[in-house]
């Protein structure tokens, strides 16, 4: 039988972990590259895929993720969370000696995990699979600990019956299963800013399957406030703050993700809106309406021809780094559709691939487009970049990267491009500021 942990011993372990993490990078935090799956800096970049093909791929993955995400509109929305194919990855070194791999960054889940040898069932991956037997810093987590109990479905197992065995399932039936363990992770952008995070809890998955692609070996879940999430584990050292700045997929430069003081969004042009809870530890905000040009529409208003009436109704919108397109409830989208079509004054044409809802015939791809502004709670008005809202999908076809969806919304990464986005889990707010992300 396992010996119960003494409260003072457990507290001392938490203090030690905090000191180790803080000493690694101090209060200033650290920064790492976010590698887009299709960017030239990605080791899996295919130079023969056209811009149109990349845009189509992003749209297909977004639609698949959104449909699975809210399938059935279950009251237990956590069970409907989905992995799908991610958009951004981080280069991570795991173990001692370190093994280089790539993990998908996801604000829509909270578990950090990677595939591990010996595999019972693993999907094919291009990076080498981590073997914990080769690492001197690998150690399994005991099943009676708070970390283990924070994972639904975890149980006691292993040769001694005391190892924490986890099972983490996504709404699209993708899953990872294995041992919960602690290990040394090295993250950052060299030279000079790579930091070492000792004793980070993660899932060492021996049985994994579903729709995972071969680009990465697992996921860095940045959502939630449960003890198991990476943000919670290093929360004290980073002040509960992280954020990113996404470079347009078709632009120059590299997107960045920051942890700690570097993630603070402040100054002229910065806006903030509260993170709201609907029974989940994910990043939802309240969308009150939108504007096309100078005409504003609120949720609950059905008139696309005049100034919208004030409404107390709001839409819960998930800020998701893993979805490219933005989705809004059909009632709002109907007004968006009418207002944009009226403003553009170009022939409306169907998307030949059936993926986008608002497409226009534009010779040469040039189009005079209005500014679309999202109005979030707290008077936070986010004017979207036109280059990522109206995208050329073919030589003479421009489409809007927003689609309708029932009940809730998703703020995808196209809409977040060109903004510094900061999450503050202590103050429960998210902030945005338009900026040149290539200069970050």
Q: Which of 78, 55, 59 has the alpha carbon at shortest distance from 318?
A: 78
Beta-sheet strands, E only, within 88-153: 88-94, 99-106, 112-115, 139-140
| Neighbour-count burial of 364, counting CB atoms closer than 10 A to its CB (0-12 exposed, 13-18 middle, 19+ buried) | exposed
Q: What is the DSSP letter of 331?
A: H
Q: Does residue 37 contact residue 44 with C-beta atoms inside 8 Å?
A: yes
Strands (E), 19-120: 30-36, 88-94, 99-106, 112-115
Longest dimension (CA), the chain: 74
Q: Catalytic residue, from 33, 38, 106, 110: name it.
A: 106
User: Is 320 marked active-site?
Assistant: yes
Nearest to 424, CA basis, from 221, 242, 231: 242
Q: Is 139 helix (H, G, I), strand (E, B) or coil?
A: strand
Which of the following is catalytic: 33, 301, 320, 424? Answer: 320
106 is catalytic: yes
What's the CA gap between 209 and 177, in Å, rounded? 9
Using DSSP bridges, classify how beta strands 326-328 and 402-404 pair: parallel, antiparallel or unpaired: parallel
The catalytic site residues sit at 106, 320
């Amino acid at each position: 039988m396992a010996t119960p942990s003494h409260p003072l011993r457990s507290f001392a372990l938490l203090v030690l972990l905090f000191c180790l993490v803080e000493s690694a990078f101090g209060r200033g935090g650290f920064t790492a590259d976010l590698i887009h799956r299709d960017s030239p800096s990605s080791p899996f970049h295919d130079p023969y895929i056209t811009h149109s093909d990349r845009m189509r791929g992003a749209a297909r993955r977004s639609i698949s993720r959104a449909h699975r995400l809210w399938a059935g509109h279950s009251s237990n929305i956590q069970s409907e969370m989905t992995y799908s194919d991610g958009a951004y990855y981080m280069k991570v070194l795991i173990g001692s000696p370190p093994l280089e791999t790539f993990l998908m960054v996801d604000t829509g889940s909270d578990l950090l995990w990677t595939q591990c040898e010996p595999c019972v069932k693993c999907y094919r991956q291009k990076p080498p699979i981590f073997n914990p037997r080769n690492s001197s810093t690998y150690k399994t987590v005991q099943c009676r600990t708070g970390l283990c109990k924070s994972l639904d479905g975890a149980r006691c197992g292993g040769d001694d019956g005391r190892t924490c065995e986890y099972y983490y399932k996504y709404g699209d039936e993708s899953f990872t299963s294995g041992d919960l363990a602690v290990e040394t992770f090295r993250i950052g952008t060299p030279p000079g800013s790579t930091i070492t995070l000792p004793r980070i809890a993660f899932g060492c998955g021996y049985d994994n399957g579903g729709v995972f692609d071969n680009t990465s070996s697992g996921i860095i879940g940045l959502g939630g406030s449960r003890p198991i999430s990476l943000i919670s584990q290093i929360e004290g050292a980073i002040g509960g703050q992280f954020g990113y700045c996404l470079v347009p997929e078709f632009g120059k430069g590299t997107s960045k993700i920051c942890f700690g003081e570097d993630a603070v969004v402040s100054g002229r042009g910065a806006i903030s809106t509260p993170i709201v809870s609907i029974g989940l530890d994910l990043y939802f905000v309240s969308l009150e309406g939108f504007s096309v040009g100078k005409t504003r529409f609120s949720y609950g208003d059905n008139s696309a021809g005049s100034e919208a009436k004030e409404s107390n109704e709001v839409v819960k919108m998930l800020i998701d780094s893993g979805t490219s397109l933005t989705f809004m409830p059909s009632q709002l989208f109907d007004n968006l559709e009418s207002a944009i079509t009226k403003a553009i004054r170009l022939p409306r044409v169907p998307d030949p691939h059936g993926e986008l809802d608002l497409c226009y015939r534009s010779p040469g791809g040039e189009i005079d487009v209005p500014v679309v502004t999202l109005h979030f709670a707290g008077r936070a008005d986010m004017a979207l970049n036109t280059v990522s809202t109206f995208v050329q999908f073919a030589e003479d076809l421009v489409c809007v990267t927003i689609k309708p969806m029932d009940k809730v919304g998703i703020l995808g990464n196209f809409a977040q491009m060109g903004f510094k986005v900061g999450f503050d889990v202590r103050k429960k707010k998210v902030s945005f500021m338009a900026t040149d992300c290539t200069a970050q």
